[in-house]
Amino acid sequence: MSDRPVSASNAESLFQLYRDKSPEKPGIESKRKTVDLNGRDRYGFKISASFVDQEKYNTWWDQYSRYLIRRKLKWVKLMNKNGFEADEDSMPTKFPTRSEELKRYVRKGIPAEWRGNAWFYFCKGPERLSKNKGLYDNLCAKMDTLDEVNLEAIEKDLHRTFPDNIHFNDYSGEESLMIGSLRRVLRCYALYNPEIGYCQSLNFIAGQLLIFMDEEKTFWMLVIIHEKLLVDVHTMNLEGVSVHQGVLLLCFRQYLPLTWSVMREHDTINDDFLVNIPSLGICTTSWFMSLFIGILPVETVLRIWDCLFYEDSKSIFRISLGIFKLMEPQFVKTPEDELYHLIQSFPRTILNPNDLLDVCYRKLNSISHLKQQEIQLCKQYVINYRAKYKNLKHEDNNLLSNQERLKLLQEGIQEFGKPRVLKGLRWNSRLNKQIRKLRVESEHDI
Amino acid sequence: MADLVTQEPRFAQFKLVLLGESAVGKSSIVHRFVTDSFDDLRESTIGAAFLTQTIQLDERTTIKFEIWDTAGQERYKSLAPMYYRNANCALVAYDITQESSLDRAKSWIQELQKQASADIVVALVGNKLDLEAERKVSTKEAKEYADELGLIFKEISAKTGEGIKDVFHSIASKLPVEEKLNSATKRRRNIDLNRPSTNNQESCSC
């Protein structure tokens, strides 16, 4: 059996806005005092390490913590209304069935102390866990058999994961419990999914999950995240990263025409943007790879995760569009050589999660019309496009016969004429010309 | 007249990409260069981070580096073309206490020679010079390799700051400043043409 120690995570005590169950309803003031503002947020992150100064943070937190208390009370009422026994101090493991109302609640934020359970529940984690009892412990037992390359890569990153968080680095000089958990989760996941193994950025995703749930649940969350949200993103060739960037660019074209036109004008995007992801993609790559960790302030990332785990992969795109929507007024007047700096620094200023989520989900906003089906079709399109273009580009590619190549080309051309869900989805003229040219050549060959 | 023109201050901007194996200290090098600080606790880089720093090359020439600091894990290599596209210079780092990191640096250099622009200025740097006692890569071995390929070579320490300024200076002095100035002037003119329209919008209150 594994020698897995007691979980390092204890959500209950970590983020309680309420200290004790007081006989009478405690006033907001007394509740807020229990938050340790001694240079750290309630998740143990150093505030000075975040992207805003302490004073600004405190001003925001003063307001936002009131909001959190209001939301928590509403959640308790929602739970009770749906027949779940819950009060301010309980730690529910089951939540109401999915509904428009619940979705609204999730988008307004899950109480921090319920997050671990709620994320796991909404992702259907309990089912996975009960169907695979003992799997994690078995993996733990043989985790040292992981190949050298992955072992080394994990080891290099353990102490470079949230070194500013008290749970990861308690300055005792000893390795924290959390690092131990992180090591096991990453090794087990690498064993479980050899196609991914260990990829840098998984350390942050797993690390943040560990703040909210035990390591076995974190392991299953990693499994689910890669099935549901980040398909192929962390694989060996990182093809999914490029595909997602392609889809995002098409979304810009459709939903943020002004931003798109500036991108085009600045020549940051060429016609072959789906095949050769433009430099702009360097900035947004990490948004997908780490699910916004390190990109946005902690609280904002957590609110986004609430939505991601309740909903599906379209949320990643909506959020990305939302960030650009908020940035648009600055974006359009920023000179080309400062754009990358803006894209990197602007998200760090989104301290109030509601600013971002409003843009993403407000009915009147076009971004809120982005549907999952659209993303799926768009993604398939980008995948096919990239695959075809790559095949055509490598003329010495012997894997395809001439007939097969011709068929592929014809499919490409036929597809070109079809109406698409996203207006942006069509072969661009330059590539189309190239394809026609290649087609003539291959007809010639036959 | 010609003299007057040549005395004008010059400003040129170059893209630098920082490559090398994971945990050799790429981010620390760039932070030492940009903020002159060192942090023992640095997070691993996801994707790539963007930083800028200007240096005074000579009395009248200012160089601005646009630095792309990249993630070091092997698999990120597939994204690398995105990083080094249009790069004017590259700093390829290894860790003098890790033999394998020099091999990795060499493979980056090969890739740059094959894929990046032909005139890219490349510097090979051995980091963690402060850990001399744990050295595994001899200066001679790395220097010979760099000399053979005509690369800039330096051993540095991001922790103590030793050699950092030098290496960026060496890179800057090899960059085609004149060429860049000419193209930049053209570009600035274009931008200037566009500028008034946005300004007018803001200032117009009618």
Q: How large is the ipTM? A: 0.86
Residue with tokens 């974006």: A331
The class (CATH top level) of A239-372 is: mainly alpha
Chain B residues lying within 8 Å of A170, measured CB to CB:
none
B166 CA: distance to closest CA in chain A (Å):
25
Instruction: Give the integer Cα–Cα distance in Å for A363 and A150.
Output: 45
Q: Where does the pLDDT of residue A192 fall: very low under 50, low under 70, confident under 90, or very high at 90 and above?
A: very high
Per-residue confidence at A446, pLDDT binned at 50, 70, 90?
Answer: very low
Give this prediction's pTM.
0.85
pLDDT at position B201 is 38
Q: Is a pLDDT exceeding 70 seen at residue A385? A: yes
Give phi and psi for A122, each to the nearest 5: -65, -30
Neighbouring residues of A230: CB distance < 8 A, sequence distance ≥ 6: A240, A288, A289, A291, A313
pLDDT tens by residue, A29-78: 334 433 444 788 899 998 876 677 888 888 999 999 999 999 999 999 99
Q: Where are the domains of chain A?
A: 129-229, 239-372, 392-445
The per-residue pLDDT for B191 is 46
Q: Which CATH number fits domain A129-229: 3.20.20.70, 3.65.10.10, 2.40.50.140, 1.10.8.270?
A: 1.10.8.270
Contact A335 B191 (CB under 8 A): yes
Distant-in-sequence contacts of A43-51, Cβ < 8 A, 24+ apart: A43/A14, A43/A15, A43/A112, A43/A165, A43/A211, A43/A298, A44/A14, A44/A165, A44/A166, A44/A167, A44/A168, A44/A211, A45/A162, A45/A164, A45/A165, A45/A298, A46/A164, A46/A165, A49/A164, A50/A297, A50/A298, A51/A297, A51/A348, A51/A349
Q: How far apart (Å, rounded) are the C-alpha atoms in residues B86 and A276?
A: 13
Q: Is B75–A282 a contact, with Cβ atoms under 8 angstroms apart? A: no
- Mark yes or no for CB contact B44/A200 under 8 Å: yes
**Ramachandran angles phi, psi of A415, nearest 5°:** -60, -30
Looking at residue B41, its pLDDT comes to: 85
pLDDT at A368: 85
Average confidence (pLDDT) over B171-178: 94
Locate the chain B residue with the closest alpha carbon to A195: B75
**Average pLDDT over every residue of B78-104:** 94
* Token reading at A327: 């940035």
Set of chain B residues whose Cβ sits within 8 Å of the Cβ of A290: 46
Which of A156, A169, A285 minimises the CB distance to B22?
A156
Tell me the pLDDT band of A362, cut-offs 50, 70 and 90: confident
pLDDT at A6: 45
CA distance B111 to chain A (A): 16
In order, the DSSP letters of B181-201 are HHHHHHHHHHHHHHHHHHHHH
Across residues B170-187, what is the average pLDDT?
82
Q: Give, in degrees to the nearest 5, the angle at Cα A254 between A252 and A256.
A: 50
Q: Which of A159, A199, A340 sits opposite B75 (nearest CB)?
A: A199
Chain A residues whose CB is inside 8 A of the B180 CB are none
pLDDT at position B4 over 80: no
Average pLDDT of the segment spanning A111-130: 97
Given a contact cutoff of 8 angstroms between Cβ atoms, the answer to whether A267 and A316 are in contact is: no
Beta bridge partners of B133: none
Partnered with residue B154 across adjacent β-strands are B125
Indicate the pLDDT class of residue A88, thresholds 50, 70 and 90: confident
Mention every residue, 6+ apart, whose C-beta is less than 8 A from residue A134: none
Class of domain B2-178: alpha beta
Q: Which residue has the higher pLDDT, A280 or A199?
A: A199
Tens digits of residue pLDDT in B5-46: 567 889 999 999 999 999 999 999 999 999 999 998 899 999
The residues, ordered by sequence, that sit 6+ positions from A274 with a Cβ below 8 Å of its Cβ are A246, A249, A250, A382, A385, A386, A389
- The whole-angstrom separation of Cα A370 and Cα A247 is 12
Residue A94 has pLDDT above 60, yes or no: yes
Using a CB-CB cut-off of 8 Å, the residues of chain A touching B81 are 276
